[in-house]
Structure 1
């Protein structure tokens, strides 16, 4: 049996990056003391969620992995505690800026970098202003304790991302997150957000671990942000599922904390094989997924059987 204990850290992010790094380090130490071997922190935990507004000076927050204070700090902590830590950070690579994760193994070495594939653009989640779409593709790392795949926040809404990592041999899927209120849509997206990831877990027979931030973060109007006034209430609800998508542990919406779960990786692999969902896949039938948009053919171009099917559907 290959067993691993995993933790999702939920925290509020202050205006002071040094304070956020201290908080993250304290939470990592607590999780490790509770037996966690892989510990997930929220997305971009070093800073408040700067993507709520557009400020050119915020580009200066981006660094290389070698220069990033949180990455360096977590490398030392991972080596000290013998834990694996995926670290979300704002990456600069030449003239490109990415929303990235450095996967730090239990000896403090960096297994590699994943750059966020799907970049959202909404009124108060203005990430296209800050981030270049990732160029790494989806990746899986063979860490000391498990083979892990990592997506970042908006990636978690796309089943294709989870399936790609599962096909690449992932045993656990991790999603560092910064998500909260939707002031324009006026909806509570927390249940939908969770169900979406539970679906990835169920479809791939693979645990999902999501770590979100909490707290209200406000933007005050000034000349540099075009007099924008707004706030986001990050709703926490960090959780871990089992291999069928059922929630094992979940945190609340407004308090920091650590959610833990233990997994038997051999048992999970046996379940994936037994269900046969990967055996029975038909990739040859899925070409439409890779097309930019559905192609509408004129009625004259349809085969008679397709016309009959179309009429039936109407």
Structure 2
């Protein structure tokens, strides 16, 4: 392994209309694969795609039919495709999917190593329920605990979207040895609140990075996605505009690469994980932790 590892975040429009769900999934996997090849050609070894990139953000509405979109992780078409591609390109990728496990549904990442092997899964811990981000209708809170995966290019910790707002996620990943924390994301407009949360969103993760001396990467989708009224969704009409702004920080939380709000883009950063480990030790923040004093946060 070289001294520095190049990491890429990929953002693109996932919700563009298609003739069927199957067509949308096929198109999005192929688009993600094309952009992954470009990132690998630029030397990226860890490549991050956005949350649930296979299709539109279906959680904008409640629809029982969408339960049928979930499949077991090993049968997911994106997992199958990217296992082969990671092996071909010698890259590491977390793949975000809608997972069925028996009678239960999860928002899940499958971590694929550079030899195409499946290193295991992480299931989203924190499940949001807000206007047009109605994930509790679909997903059971994850039961894997926070996971750090030992890959060919470093120890990779993963949180999924809403997890990124919780400092506990990043702290647990750092304590478990993460060299970098990756957040696949689907976030955009807040039509009821009428606020632009992008700055708040970025600063929150920058703080996690700074507090743990671990670089952070977030990959978001772009584009407007509309819901048309139907009997199944109770006549709901709504839209979300996803604001992109994918970014990578250095180990102190400073943003070193950032994408635009509405443009298909690949962004990059290089890291010396060994030097970052030394920096974490030299600051003494983990040495000086007092877990016995933190009981209030677990009440």
Quote how far apart the aligned CAs of 1:2 are. Answer: 3.0
Which among 69, 74, 78 is matched to residue 70 of structure 1?
A: 78
Paired residue secondary structure (1:23): helix
* 1:8 corresponding residue in structure 2: 9
* 2:21 corresponding residue in structure 1: none
TM-score (norm 1): 0.92
Which structure would you say has the larger Rg?
1
* 1:221 corresponding residue in structure 2: 229
* 1:18 corresponding residue in structure 2: 26
Structure 2 residue ranges without an equivalent (≥5): 18-23
Quote how far apart the aligned CAs of 1:161 are. Answer: 0.5
Superposed CA RMSD in Å reads: 0.7
Q: Does 1:152 align with 2:163?
A: no
Matched residue count: 291
Quote how far apart the aligned CAs of 1:112 are. Answer: 0.5
Task: Quote the Cα distance in structure 1 between the aligned partners of 2:240 and 2:127.
Answer: 18
Quote how far apart the aligned CAs of 1:3 are. Answer: 1.6
Q: Does 1:167 align with 2:175?
A: yes
Quote how far apart the aligned CAs of 1:99 are. Answer: 0.1
Task: Quote the Cα distance in structure 1 between the aligned partners of 2:241 and 2:175.
Answer: 35
Task: Quote the Cα distance in structure 2 between the aligned partners of 1:100 and 1:152.
Answer: 8
* 1:255 corresponding residue in structure 2: 263
Paired residue secondary structure (1:7): strand
* 1:109 corresponding residue in structure 2: 117
Structure 1 residue ranges without an equivalent (≥5): 292-314
Task: Quote the Cα distance in structure 2 between the aligned partners of 1:157 and 1:192.
Answer: 10
Paired residue secondary structure (1:223): coil
Counterpart mapping for 1:91-240 below 5 A: 91-240=99-248
* 2:254 corresponding residue in structure 1: 246
Counterpart mapping for 1:260-279 below 5 A: 260-279=268-287
* 1:299 corresponding residue in structure 2: none
Quote how far apart the aligned CAs of 1:228 are. Answer: 0.3
Task: Quote the Cα distance in structure 2 between the aligned partners of 1:56 and 1:30.
Answer: 37
Task: Quote the Cα distance in structure 2 between the aligned partners of 1:152 and 1:195.
Answer: 17
Q: Does 1:80 align with 2:88?
A: yes
Quote how far apart the aligned CAs of 1:222 are. Answer: 1.1
Quote how far apart the aligned CAs of 1:65 are. Answer: 1.3
* 1:46 corresponding residue in structure 2: 54
Task: Quote the Cα distance in structure 2 between the aligned partners of 1:30 and 1:67.
Answer: 26
TM-score (norm 2): 0.96
